[in-house]
Structure 1
Amino acid sequence: MKKLFILIVFPFTLFAQSKKVDSVKVFYLGGQSNMDGYGYNKDLPKSLSKEFKDIWIFHGNPTKDERTDGGKGIWSPLTSGHGRGFSSDGKENKLSDRFGIELSFAKKLQELYPNQKIALIKYSRGGTSIDTLGNRTGNWDHNFRGKTGKNQYDYFLETVKNAYAQTDIDGDGIRDVLVPSGIIWMQGESDAPSEEIALRYYDHLSTLMNLIRAAFRVDDLPVVIGKISDSWNNKQGKVWKYGELVQAAQEKFVLKDKKAAIVRETRYYKYSDPYHYNSEGYIDLGNKFAEALERLK
């Protein structure tokens, strides 16, 4: 098995000798374009169009396989602009005019955990699959081998390593202990182009979720996945030819994993194009992810 040894080098700092620390719940957001987010900032209500207090985000720079800049980022207060088009060079974030599930997800978490500091670690990239053969813009297969050996799984690892390297994420002079509290995963469309690939989705999803759990060193870390849907906005009808097989695999995963849940409301969302939900959909999806995560407690 390739790359698994990388997990042991994460700088999970021990804070036992510190006189005072802040406990911060940290959640990982990952997947492909509907996790990137195609909502428009201009559509946000005032309650979400703001800089959030006591919520920070580390958004790893999304990039295609084989590059060296994937996973770079900085901690910053959560605001809009972490959707499609976001980038970071590790010194400065370039915000976009889009948003994803992170805003409504964070707002709902604040309601569920009042007076609790919250951190989000986000790494996702549109068009990516978890099966190497389904790859369009990148893949999450930890056994991937290419010219540089770098793929989306590596950039996830890099994102988490860089996020944990900062021990005072809000700059208040007090050490922050990041407590892994959940995985949110929205992906699967790019694994539905062929029957062969779609039929492997359950095994790939199970392996990847357990690898992500291992990266955070919590074997039973709660996982909430978003069930993929179809806009039917295609000349042939369906956009994702074998989407039902991926949906079945997602249902199988949450049935067999006692610490996993699924958000099914995606079937009712409207689309801004054949592939992506509209702004209202992303807002609702963030709420539903937080509510599903809370039920797993």
Structure 2
Amino acid sequence: MNILLIAGQSNAVGTSRTGPLKGYEFSNVSLYQAGEFTGGNQALQNVWLRGIRPNMGYTPEHSGIELGICSALRGAEPYGIIRYAYGTTDLIRNWQAESLWKKVPASMEDSGYCFLQWKNTFLRAVHSLQTPFIVRGLVFMQGESDAYDRDGALRYAENLRSLMRDMRRFIGNESLPVLIGEIATPVSEYAPFADIVREGQREFCRGDKNAVFVPSKDLRLQDGWHYIMQDAIELGERFGREVKNLFEKP
């Protein structure tokens, strides 16, 4: 089975208010997820789910890029998605690469905790999959939280290189394709270093032959951080078109 990994912060969780939405049900795609899923969607964690549909995101009223990814991958079924994502998490601390840890993280307050939970989610998922699989790629949608902090923004490319290196080593594929989603958050008093983060994302992709930069700055936001539903789907479709090429490889 082809497996796609999704990781990052809130726009990877799925924080777009769904509203009326038809035609986005994918019965032959499996999903295993963990992270910041609340309300009734807490029950959608740490178990393989058969089928992806709207309202499987942050709450039962939210969806995300998974719908657009699945839309672009129509005809590529069956496949599975393993997602770990948590809102308001940064690269400089929460997603710190394991090779930089000074101690094993025990809580969200400790550096690297999201990376540890991402690993654990993957291990639980594949342990219960009970079928041969190949990880085709990683969608990483993160960076808004690093736009708060000058140091985090200036070191974004460096930190992203370290994280992707450690993620690839953990998966066992040093050449694992990674798709880096551009943040769309505008520069403001709440995200004064957003442009620096965006440049860090581009810099990483320019220097990594197995990385693809997926633009999103042209897409609309519902609150300055999270995409409106229509444009979250569009972003997912941009990811999905790249993923489709990966799925078609022997």
Shorter-chain TM band: 0.7 to 0.9
1:288 aligns with 2:249: no
1:58 aligns with 2:32: yes
Q: Which one of 191, 195, 214 corresponds to residue 240 of structure 1?
A: 191
Task: Please name the residue that 1:105 is paired with.
Answer: 69
Task: Please name the residue that 1:140 is paired with.
Answer: 95
CA offsets 1:22-76 (integer angstroms, 9 cap, x no match) = xx110011101111112233332x210x3x232100011438xxxxx9x960001
Q: Give distance in 2, aligned partners of 1:191 and 1:177.
A: 37
- Residues 260-271 of structure 1 aligned to structure 2 (within 5 Å): 260-264=211-215, 266-271=216-221
Task: Please name the residue that 1:220 is paired with.
Answer: 175
The amino acid across from 2:87 in the alignment is G
Q: Give distance in 1, aligned partners of 2:180 and 2:105.
A: 31
**Larger deviation, residues 32-41 vs 216-225:** 32-41
Question: How does the TM-score come out when normalised to structure 2?
Answer: 0.85
Q: Which one of 216, 225, 229 corresponds to residue 279 of structure 1?
A: 229
Task: Please name the residue that 1:80 is paired with.
Answer: 54
Q: Give distance in 1, aligned partners of 2:69 and 2:169.
A: 23
Task: Please name the residue that 2:141 is paired with.
Answer: 186
Q: Secondary structure at the match of 1:270?
A: coil
Q: Secondary structure at the match of 1:181?
A: strand
Deviation at 1:82, TM superposition (A): 2.3
1:127 aligns with 2:81: no
What residue ranges of structure 1 are gaps of 5+ in the alignment? 1-23, 64-68, 86-95, 133-138, 169-175
Contact 2:3 2:79 survives alignment (8 Å): yes
Identity %: 26
Greater share of helix? 2
Deviation at 1:231, TM superposition (A): 4.1
Aligned-CA RMSD value: 2.3
Contact 1:251 1:262 survives alignment (8 Å): yes
Task: Please name the residue that 1:166 is paired with.
Answer: 128
Q: Give distance in 1, aligned partners of 2:49 and 2:191.
A: 36
Contact 1:261 1:293 survives alignment (8 Å): no
Q: Give distance in 2, aligned partners of 1:263 and 1:124.
A: 18
Contact 2:5 2:137 survives alignment (8 Å): yes
Q: Secondary structure at the match of 1:54?
A: strand
1:47 aligns with 2:23: yes
Alpha-carbon distance change, 164 to 97 in structure 1, aligned in 2, over 3 angstroms: same
What residue ranges of structure 2 are gaps of 5+ in the alignment? none
Task: Please name the residue that 1:36 is paired with.
Answer: 13
Deviation at 1:149, TM superposition (A): 5.6
Q: Give distance in 1, aligned partners of 2:13 and 2:61.
A: 12
Q: Give distance in 1, aligned partners of 2:201 and 2:13.
A: 20
1:156 aligns with 2:130: no
1:196 aligns with 2:145: no
CA offsets 1:105-141 (integer angstroms, 9 cap, x no match) = 0121224x3xx42100011011001112xxxxxx111
Alpha-carbon distance change, 103 to 147 in structure 1, aligned in 2, over 3 angstroms: closer
1:259 aligns with 2:207: no
Deviation at 1:213, TM superposition (A): 1.6
Alpha-carbon distance change, 282 to 214 in structure 1, aligned in 2, over 3 angstroms: same
The amino acid across from 2:27 in the alignment is K
Q: Secondary structure at the match of 2:120?
A: helix
Deviation at 1:99, TM superposition (A): 0.6
The amino acid across from 2:219 in the alignment is Y
Q: Give distance in 2, aligned partners of 1:107 and 1:72.
A: 22
Contact 1:270 1:277 survives alignment (8 Å): yes
Q: Secondary structure at the match of 1:162?
A: helix
Q: Give distance in 2, aligned partners of 1:219 and 1:258.
A: 11
The amino acid across from 2:78 in the alignment is K
1:250 aligns with 2:214: no
The amino acid across from 2:120 in the alignment is E
Deviation at 1:295, TM superposition (A): 5.3
Q: Give distance in 2, aligned partners of 1:119 and 1:208.
A: 23
Task: Please name the residue that 1:92 is paired with.
Answer: none
CA offsets 1:208-254 (integer angstroms, 9 cap, x no match) = 1122222221111111111112246xxxx454101111111111111
Alpha-carbon distance change, 159 to 32 in structure 1, aligned in 2, over 3 angstroms: same
Q: Give distance in 2, aligned partners of 1:219 and 1:39.
A: 33
